[in-house]
Amino acid sequence: MTEDADTRPQLPEVQPSEEEVQQLVRGAQHGEEAAFSRLYEVYFHRVYRFVALRVDTPADAEDITEDVFLRMLESIGSFRRREAPFVAWIMRIAHNRVVDYWRRARTRTSLPLDEAPPLPSEREDPHARIELFSDSRDLQAALGRLTDLQRQVLALRFGAGLSVMETAAVMKRNDGAIKALQHSAVAALRRIMVPGEQ
Amino acid sequence: MVHDPLDDVLNDCLDRLQRGESVALCLARYPDWATHLRPLLETATSAVAARPAPDPSFRATSRLRFQGAIRSHLAVQRSSRGETLFPSWARAWAGMMAALVLIIGFGSGAVLASSNAAPDSPLYPVKRATERAQVALTPSEASRARLHLRWADRRGVEMAAMAQEGKADHVDRLRRDLVRELDLAHAEAGTSPETPSTAGAPSAAVPEAGVRALGAGSAPPESSSPRPQDSRPAEVPTSDRAGNEARAFLREVHDDGERTLARLILAQRKAPPPAREALGRALKAAQARYGEPAALESGPYPSPPRIVVLQGVASYRGSTLWVGQRRVELPADAVIHGRPRAGQVLVIGGLLQEDGSILALQVEAEGPAKGAPARVTLQGPLASGPGGYLTIAGYRITLTPGQTTVQGEPTPGHWVMVEGRLVAPDVIAADRVRALDGVPVPFEDTED
């Protein structure tokens, strides 16, 4: 086993070209093990981050991420390039798994109080911090106060690193609607983190 | 809906930030919008910086599980498609019928679901039927021999799992299946198990006699179907190529055998008595077929001793697992219980490799570490290293009179357990050394 990308700087991420992705997808559709493995390496972080920004706990994000790749394995034969880019296709799978998760979660009890992170607006003097979010739990708590669509657009844009066009394909909206939604989501996040600001 | 031009400006800046441009430069590009833009861009960059990253241990184990899933998926796909070229109409007919029966009788979903079925699962017969179909669909003897080896390996994994659940009757049944797969593998390859005296050293020459031609085009096959193993002297290879292929195959048998035997030994740690005895029978039977000399009873271990059980605290460098200053390789078929995160106490059972790393066969996460991370517990065959030092799995063991407790009579070549502190990457200052009775034991058994 070799050291991998975890130890290298993460941003900006180098993603394979669309042509390379198409080649990998064709390979996977023809049953090439190496192509499946490479697709996993390429999309693992993006899927995980997207899911983690939309669910409650890292353990849930891990379970759903694994499930997304197993579903990719089973259904890659049904992927058609002309319908959407591959990244939009796999993120659509991830989105559907997240929707299932929340459907099941309705019957669950809520997070115990001592495990819930304090909401940023409840803290003293948010202006005193240079970073608005001290860690990922902080960010997730703030995202939890957005509407589902706002949370989804930020998870796709900031978590999965999708372009507006790809985000539009996943959310089945036009580019203009995604830009407007993104604007309202970032502004809402700002209001949550810095409540007194004009 | 009225279009807000700030939607486009913000989006352009977010794209630029993603490409590595700074907030200041973005604001300079849009001076008229700077007042509105600044708080939004600060919020966005802060959110990107705080986005969650996967735990390295999750990434490593998840990758393994996915690779295993790919292999199962592709194997089932290939066997269901029946797209291989058949050398004879009879094989094609048998194979297609087998695949059809599987698909019609159970459905492809059941075939896929059965790929990980345990021997006590209702789907297990589907798994075995799928295996038989794969063999029937495979045209060359060499490939069929390797398939039988793979199925033997699977039986070993299943046997270990059943033994830990105390299901001795399943262990006995699987032992017979494992032996049958190995006999079929040797029959297809035209080889016979190595004698114990040659198997311990992988570089040792494989006797030329005892090898029949292996591989497509190497020699005319006697029959297109597997023949039972017999005791007749096997044919002398017809060419160097055939001999080399046969030697390569026997090396594969040896390597597979080492993993399977290690798995069975490790399974003995937690198996209740009847299953433990059944495992003992399986070990004897498997040793004879794999050609590995006796390594398990109380007698001396083969040289070099490779099977080791290590308990220590997990850490990660990148996504590579380290325990007790040893790099641990996790192959796709490693059995992992729990989530081996950094800071957890792990019990690793596996094979010591030439570079000092451990090829894990099973990993058990036992919970967060409470003591000092440098503390390790190790079980393995004791060896006498250069200069008369005692070693286990390459760790040098130092004994301090008055501080080290010695229980039993630990002698080189026998299985022992050592508890102590890592005082250097390869040196354990032992607090306790205990001679064990032939096989590894659960670590909790040592708390007496």
Q: Which residues of B99-135 are buried (b: 16+ CB within 10 A; e: fewer)?
A: beebbeebeeebbbbbbebebeeebeebbbbbbbbbb
Identity of residue A43:
Y
**Identity (one letter) of the amino acid at B281?**
R
One-letter amino acid for residue B259 of the chain: R
pLDDT band at A175 (very low <50, low <70, confident <90, very high): very high
| Top-confidence residue, A13 or B165 | B165
Confidence (pLDDT) at B110: 57
Mean pLDDT estimate for chain B:
74
> Which pLDDT value is given to residue A116?
36
Inter-CA distances, A147 with A13, A171, A181, B142, Å: 28, 14, 10, 60
Strand partners, A186: none
Task: Inspect the interface and report whether the beta carbons of B317 and A7 lie closer than 8 Å.
Answer: yes
Quote the CA–CA distance of B132 and B67 in Å, as a whole number. Answer: 23
Smallest Cα distance from B109 to chain A, Å: 10
d(CA A141, CA A37): 33
CB atoms B51 and A52 under 8 Å: yes
Q: Which of B222, B228, B225, B190 is nearest to B95 (CA)?
A: B225
| A96-141 pLDDT tens trace | 999 888 887 665 444 333 333 333 333 333 333 345 677 788 888 8
| Dist. CA B305–CA B200, nearest whole Å | 10
Chain B hits for A197, CB-CB cut-off 8 Å, are 39
- Cβ separation B71–A182 shorter than 8 A: no
Cβ <8 Å between B65 and A66: yes
pLDDT at residue B333 in the model:
74
Q: Is the peptide bond prior to B304 cis by the omega test (within 30 degrees of 0)?
A: yes
Kindly state whether B120 is in contact with chain A, defined as any CB-CB distance less than 8 angstroms.
Answer: no
Q: How confident is the model at residue B205 (pLDDT cuts 50, 70, 90)?
A: very low
Q: pLDDT higher for B10 or B438?
A: B10
- Using a CB-CB cut-off of 8 Å, the residues of chain A touching B59 are 6, 44
* pLDDT (mean) for B335-357: 83
Residue with more model confidence, A65 or B133:
A65
Cα of first residue to Cα of last residue in chain A, in angstroms, is 52
| A62–B39 CB contact, under 8 Å | no
Q: Do A44 and B59 touch (CB under 8 A)?
A: yes
Residue of higher predicted confidence among B62 and B369: B62
Nearest CA in chain A to B74: A31
Residue B161: enclosing H or E segment and its boundaries?
A: helix B141-164
Assess whether pLDDT exceeds 60 at residue A12.
no
Cβ count near A103 (within 10 Å): 9
| Cis, bond preceding A112 (omega within 30 deg of 0) | no
Find the mean pLDDT for residues A55-73: 88
pLDDT at residue B107 above 70? no
| Residues near B143 by beta carbon (within 8 Å), at least 6 away in sequence | none
Contacting residues of B for A40, CB less than 8 Å apart: 63, 66
Indicate if the pLDDT at residue B304 is higher than 60. no
Convert the pLDDT of each residue in B136-183 to its tens digit.
888 888 888 889 999 999 999 899 989 988 999 999 999 989 988 988
The alpha carbon of residue B302 is apart from the nearest alpha carbon of chain A, in Å, by: 28
> Given pLDDT bands bounded at 50, 70 and 90, which one contains residue A1?
very low
Q: How much is the pLDDT for A10?
A: 36
Element (H, E) at B32: none
Beta carbons of B115 and B133 less than 8 angstroms apart: no
Q: What is the pLDDT of residue B94?
A: 53
Average pLDDT over residues B39-65: 86
Instruction: Tell whether A37 is within 8 A of chain B (Cβ).
Output: yes
- B338 touches A: beta carbon within 8 Å: no
Nearest to B42 among A132, A135, A161 (CB): A132
Contact A183 B4 (CB under 8 A): yes
CA-closest candidate to residue A135, choices B40, B39, B51: B51
pLDDT tier, A188 (very low <50, low <70, confident <90, very high otherwise): very high
Tokens coding B169: 């009757």
Per residue in B226-237, pLDDT (tens digit) is 333 333 333 434
Residue B178's nearest CA partner among B255, B261, B98, B246 is B261
pTM for the complete prediction? Answer: 0.49
Contact predicate A91/A156, CB 8 Å: yes
Partner-chain contact A131 B319, CB within 8 Å: no
Which amino acid does the sequence have at B219?
Answer: A
Interchain contact, A186 vs B40, CB within 8 Å: yes
Nearest to A161 by CA among A5, A6, A16, A2: A16
Q: List alpha helices for B268-390, DSSP H.
A: 273-290
d(CA B210, CA B200): 18
Contacts of A138 in chain B (CB under 8 A): 50
pLDDT average, residue stretch A166-186: 93
Residues of B in contact with A49 (CB under 8 A): 51-53
Position B369 confidence tier, pLDDT thresholds 50, 70, 90: confident
Six token digits for residue B18: 């993603």
User: B10 pLDDT exceeds 90?
Assistant: yes
Percent of chain A with pLDDT over 70: 78
